[in-house]
Structure 1
Amino acid sequence: MDSLLKHMVHMTGHRDHAMLDLSTITAVQELTGAAQTRILSLGKSGSQTWVRARASIRGDHPARVEDQLEAGRGEPLDLFPALAECLASRAPRAEQGDSAQATMWVPIWIGEQAASCLEIVHSGAFTAEVVHTIDGIVGVYRNFHNLLDYSERDSLTGLLNRKTFDDQLARMLHATPEPPLPGQPERRQQPATGQEQWLAVIDVDHFKLVNDRFGHLYGDEVLILIANMLQSSFRSHDRVFRFGGEEFVVLLRSTTADNACRIIDRFRKAVEAHVFPQVGKVTVSIGFTSIKAYESPVVTLGHADQALYYAKTNGRNQVCHYDQLVADGLLQTVAPTTTVEFF
């Protein structure tokens, strides 16, 4: 009982999703004698659901956050038939294996959706006592996950908020490998050739006119619909934020410049083609830049802002790539100290 209480205190003592994941799988591993425990992310890309390890612990080794750059979008759900059937039937758990080794998947249901899943590999079948312990830990995890989610989400759109962005960008900067010095070999963590991390800043064109002409109620509806399009246009392992007002930010993981531009412009075109209730047509301007490990978050965000400002002052309803604008001589490489406010 003392051990259980210790783990419960540890799980609820964090204000961060990653640390909650680590303390949860550590509790499961120690209290159930599991051989391996993982927290899996479940996300959709097109019509396909993908399973990606978010944190793991094996044997007596310490729990670790999985390398998001290497994990990419993960593996298709089809490779986990027992889990797929569990999700389809909304069952509380799924098991497969025998008396020598068994695996259990426990989806973390939040309302009608399960965006996370606990995977436990056990030497031998799961006893009723072990299942009872797992259910208790999952209940605490779900409740505290909801509390953290509430503090990290924008109340209007449900997107991640500005407070969360700073931490997410810092992690991406930390995970982005620096280029090797001349004469040094490539680092093992170096992503595939041309694969980089990206930051995009999105601003709704003439949004003040929408509020002035149709009222804030319709203005809020425009923001909610754009937030929905952001979530459906970008990949499950990308991160979408609302910065406040009509400004949004996206962090794109591990892709090429051409593909980043294609993904971002696909979203721009989706907004341009949509007919918003009462308001009609709305467009967005977007500036994006690559994320470099040796640049501070302020500089990275400032570069995307500069590209956005160029888009806003050169016709709007377009996507501008900071690095390309600099290469073409259309922008100077001056690092701003503050972000730009748009009207």
Structure 2
Amino acid sequence: MDSLLKHMVDMTGHRDHTMLDISVISAVQELACASRTRVLSLAAVRGQLFVRPRAVINAGSAARMEDLSDPSNPGEPISNFPALAACIVRHESNADTVDAQGNHTLWMPIWIGDKASTCLEIVNPTPYTSDTIHIIGGVVSVYRNFQNLLDYSERDSLTGLLNRKTFDDQLAKMLSASNESDTVSLPPGDTERRHHHEEEKQWLAVVDVDHFKHVNDKFGHLYGDEVLILIANLLQSSFRAQDRVFRFGGEEFVVLLRSTTLENAKKIIDRFRMNVEQHDFPQVGKVTVSVGFVSISAFEAPVIILGRADQALYYAKSHGRNMSCHYDELVSGGLLQTVESNDTAEFF
């Protein structure tokens, strides 16, 4: 009982999804005397559900987070795990199976409403008793409730998008990952990998709804809020699963695009802009957005990166709107002066 209480205190002391994952698998590993415990992400890609490990702990080893930096690797199709697949379809609380070596695997999806995007996997050389399943189920319930609380604190109440507070943390992580990537030493003569490394970058895009004040003034704030909700939906459907979309407040949004080339970044951003342009907003009719974007460098402060994206956005807003502008291209073309910060940026 003391061990269980200690783990409960540890789990509820975290305010970060990563540390919460580490805490829950450490607790389950000890309480179930398991040989391995994992947190699995369940994500749909082109209509197919994939399973990808997010955190793992093996008997006798420390818990660790798995590398999720490769967006081209969605994991294994859930069809590789028939018992788990059936559990998800039936909306059951757990499922177990025994492999050819006699290892027992217990899956416990984390249901939030009728959706499960996370699952615990516990592997044990012996069968699970009803008491063990009951105790682990209690731990899972606490984990689920805390996941809900963290999600609530990280999201904008109107649109459901990630909020400004979460953006600061996500950008810091992206800058850290970018710094590690920039310092990787490639073997001499490895031109293919070197070319790939140099071409792919992280990107930050600032989105602003054009003439949004006019929408509020003419149609009222209820319709203005509906426009923002629909814009948020279009942002989520237009960008990729590995990208992150945030609402900064008002009619301003920010997108972090992960690991792509300038050409692809332009295509992705323009796809969103045209999706908005072609969408029929109830009562309001047509709405457009302007976008400014910039590549992310680990050697520059977040305020500089945001300021440059905002400069590109301001150029788009003052040169016709309903367009996307790349900061570096504007500077190289003599259309913008290089600035170290933007004192007029609306974000600061």
Flag whether TM exceeds 0.5 (same fold).
Answer: yes
Match of 2:111 among 105, 109, 117: 109
The residue correspondences of 1:326-341 to structure 2 (distance < 5 A) are: 326-338=331-343, 340-341=345-346
Runs (5+) with no aligned partner, structure 2: none
Which residue is equivalent to 1:137? 139
Q: Deviations over 1:191-210 (max 9, x none)?
A: 95333222111111110100
CA distance change for structure 1 residues 38 and 90 in 2, over 3 Å: closer, same or farther? Answer: same
Q: Secondary structure at the match of 2:331?
A: helix
Quote the offset at 1:134 in angstroms. 1.8
The alpha-carbon deviation at position 121 of structure 1 amounts to 2.3
Measure how far apart 1:68 and its partner are.
2.9
Q: 1:310 aligns with which of 310, 315, 337?
A: 315
Match of 2:159 in 1: 157
What secondary structure is seen at the aligned counterpart in 2 of 1:136? Answer: helix
The superposition leaves residues 176-220 of structure 1 with CA deviations (integer Å, 9 ceiling, x where unpaired) of 225349xx5469x99953332221111111101000000000000
Q: CA–CA distance in 1 between the matches of 2:206 and 2:318?
A: 15
Mean CA deviation greater in 160-169 or 283-292: 283-292
10-19 vs 254-263, greater mean Cα deviation: 254-263
Aligned match of 1:202: 207
Provide closer, same or farther for how the CA distance between residues 68 and 310 of structure 1 changes in structure 2, counting only shifts above 3 A: farther
Q: Which amino acid aligns with 1:96?
A: T
Work out the CA distance in 2 between the residues paired with 1:250 and 1:58: 36
Q: Secondary structure at the match of 1:276?
A: coil
When residues 7 and 254 of structure 1 are mapped into structure 2, their CA distance, relative to the original with a 3 A threshold, is same
Q: Which amino acid aligns with 1:97?
A: V
- Do residues 260 (structure 1) and 265 (structure 2) align? yes
Amino acid at match of 2:182: P
1:298 counterpart = 2:300: no
Given residue 293 of structure 2, which amino acid in structure 1 is its aligned partner? Answer: F
Deviation at 1:151, TM superposition (A): 1.2
- Further displaced range: 194-203 or 98-107: 98-107
- Residue deviations 1:90-123 (CA, integer Å, cap 9, x gap): 1212323247212222221111221222222222
Q: In structure 1, what residue type is equivalent to 2:5? A: L
Question: CA–CA distance in 1 between the matches of 2:241 and 2:174?
Answer: 16
Matching residue's letter, 1:13: G
Q: Distance in 1 between matches of 2:194 and 2:132?
A: 41
Shift of 1:171: 1.0
Tell me how far 1:73 sits from its aligned partner.
4.9
- Residue 179 of structure 1 corresponds to 182
RMSD between superposed Cα atoms in Å: 2.4
Aligned to 1:40: 40
Q: What displacement does 1:332 show?
A: 3.0
Match of 2:102 in 1: 100
1:72 CA drift (Å): 4.9
Contact 1:69–1:191 (8 Å) recurs in 2: no
Normalised to the residue count of structure 2, the TM-score between the two structures is: 0.89
Greater alpha carbon shift after TM alignment, 212-221 vs 105-114:
105-114
The AA in structure 1 aligned to 2:52 is R
Answer yes or no: is the 8 Å Cα contact 2:311–2:342 preserved in 1.
no
Which of 319, 339, 343 does residue 324 from structure 2 map onto?
A: 319
Question: How far did 1:284 drift?
Answer: 0.8
Other structure's SS at 2:218 match: helix
What residue identity is the alignment partner of 1:160?
L
The alpha carbon displacement at 1:234 in A equals 2.0
2: CA distance, partners of 1:79 / 1:334: 52
Compared CA separation, residues 303 and 38, structure 1 to 2 (3 A): farther
SS at match of 1:68: coil
- Which of the pair has more CA radius of gyration? 2
Contact 2:238 2:272 in 1 (8 A): yes
* 2:71–2:242 Cα contact (<8 Å) kept: no
> Is residue 61 of structure 1 aligned with residue 61 of structure 2?
yes
Deviation at residue 128 of structure 1 after TM alignment: 2.1
Summarize the Cα distance change of 1:252–1:138 in structure 2 as closer, same or farther, 3 Å threshold. same
Instruction: Note closer, same or farther for the CA distance 1:294–1:135 as it changes in structure 2 (3 Å cut).
Output: same
Greater Cα shift, 159-168 or 235-244: 235-244
Q: Which position in structure 2 is the counterpart of 1:86?
A: 87
From 243, 250, 254, the equivalent of 1:249 is 254
Offset, 1:243: 0.4
CA drift of 1:232 comes to: 1.8
The residue type paired with residue 208 of structure 1 is K
Residues 191 and 254, structure 1, Cα contact 8 Å, conserved in 2: no
My pick for the range that moved more, 7-16 or 24-33, is 24-33
| Secondary structure of 1:70 counterpart | coil
Cα deviations by residue, 1:227-266 (Å, 9 ceiling, x for unpaired): 1121222222221111000011111222222222222222
Alignment of 1:187-226 (within 5 A): 192-193=196-197, 194-226=199-231
State the secondary structure of the residue aligned to 2:335: coil
Change (3 A) 1:63 1:331: farther
Q: Distance in 1 between matches of 2:292 and 2:15?
A: 31
Paired residues in the alignment total: 339
Change beyond 3 A, Cα 1:116–1:271? same
